[in-house]
Amino acid sequence: MTHPLLSQLSTRVKAKAHSATSACPCGATGTATATLADRPDATVVRHAGTVAKAHAPDTTHADLTPRLTTASRLPGILLPPLPPTPADLHGRLVTFWPYGTPVDPENPDAAPWEEAATLLARLHRAPAPTTPLPPMRGPVKAALAVTRLRMTAAHHPATGPVLRAWSTLPAWARAEAPMPDATTLCHGDLHLGQLVRHPAPDGPWLLIDVDDLGVGVPAWDLARPAAWFACGLLTPDEWTRFLTAYRAAGGPAVPADGDPWPALDTPARALTVQTAARSIAKAVAADRALDEVEREMVDACERMGCAPPESEQGFPK
């Protein structure tokens, strides 16, 4: 059964799509509405060329509005909203966006690693907006994943190694202290699902999802592919393409040459813990065993717990 939020969000996105053009591709009946995501933290629906997103219930105007304003001012990097002011619906903040073509999950060889890296470098080099931005939410999301793990899977055999790895991280990476960088503009949750082509279907790639956008440590935005590479889930060629493109675009998160790992080590460890924590919690909720990839992340946490972060050592493999 469709819940009230999803139903009314569908109505809103139809109205927004039809107000934007006199020739909506859906025709008079408006049958082109699709649910793209329906989770506790986000409900997303599309109607023709317009997307509506209901943000997490705890999202506030004070946090979301400056993020939307920043996206509207960086149109060649971030997909700009329509318009940069959230609406209210069922106690949730709702934003509207133009539709963009996402990365094809069935064609990993066409993954836009260079484009993603270049966009990140441009974002990191952009001046922080004069309107104060909240901190980038990466460490907070990692901490929330660990909290959920403790609450729902404390007795799972894989939980111990994950918590031990978490305990080795510095306080800022656990969201227990301010980040050492409070000026660099960061995405906060970079993965390939955060890129779309706009105008669809074959326009330039842009970054989407501003919920975690803010100022902070730019290496966090490189941490997920770095962690995948360290765990053997991203090939050396893909990692090299990504890192080389980031450096070529002048990205400040790592040195222009030489070993990038002293800058990446802590964020990559934190993202590995976050991924492992979420995996265990989901497996427990579904009453299933960890799959091979999930087991790889837990194994990496076990190695991390035996080798605390040291800039000269790098991520243990």
- The pLDDT-based confidence of 85 (bands split at 50, 70, 90) is confident
- The pLDDT-based confidence of 18 (bands split at 50, 70, 90) is confident
Which tens digits make up the pLDDT trace of 255-313?
999 999 999 999 999 999 999 999 999 999 999 999 999 999 999 999 997 776 654 34
What's residue 1's pLDDT?
45
What's residue 313's pLDDT?
40
Torsion of CA 227, 231, 232, 238, to 10 degrees: 0
In terms of DSSP bridges, do strands 101-102 and 214-215 run parallel, antiparallel, or are they unpaired? unpaired
Smallest CA-to-CA distance from 209 within 41, 48, 16, 33 is with 41
Query: Which has the higher per-residue pLDDT, 83 or 248?
Result: 248
CA distance 95 to 43: 11
Q: In Å, how far are 117, 155, 260, 303 from 205, measured between CA atoms?
A: 11, 43, 25, 36
What ranges do the domains of the chain cover?
4-98, 108-306
Pick the CATH number of 4-98 from 3.30.420, 3.40.630, 3.30.200, 2.60.40: 3.30.200
What's residue 315's pLDDT?
55
- State which amino acid sits at residue 116: A
Which tens digits make up the pLDDT trace of 106-156?
888 889 999 999 999 999 999 988 778 999 999 999 999 999 999 999 999
Which tens digits make up the pLDDT trace of 217-234?
999 999 999 999 999 999
- Residues 53, 174, 291, CA angle at the centre, nearest 5°? 70
Concatenated DSSP letters of the chain: ---HHHHHHHHHHHHHHHHH-SS-TTTTTT--EEEEEEETTEEEEEETTEEEEEPPTT--HHHHHHHHHHHHH-TTTBPPPSSSS-EEETTEEEEEEE--EEP-TT-GGG--HHHHHHHHHHHHHSPPPSSPPPBPSHHHHHHHHHHHHHHH-TTSTTHHHHHHHHHTS-GGGGTSS--S-SSSEE-SS-SGGGEEESSTTTS-EEE---TT-EES-TTHHHHHHHHHHHTTSS-HHHHHHHHHHHHHTT-SSS-SSS--HHHHHHHHHHHHHHHHHHHHHHHHHHT----HHHHHHHHHHHHHHHS---TTT-S--
Structure tokens at 254: 């790592």
The CATH code of the domain at 108-306 is: 3.90.1200.10
Q: In Å, how far are 80, 97, 120, 213, 239 from 143, measured between CA atoms?
A: 29, 29, 23, 17, 26
Which tens digits make up the pLDDT trace of 19-32?
765 556 665 444 57
Peptide bond into 83 cis (omega under 30): yes
| 154 burial level (CB within 10 Å; 0-12, 13-18, 19+) | exposed
Smallest CA-to-CA distance from 30 within 48, 45, 6, 5 is with 48
What's residue 16's pLDDT?
86
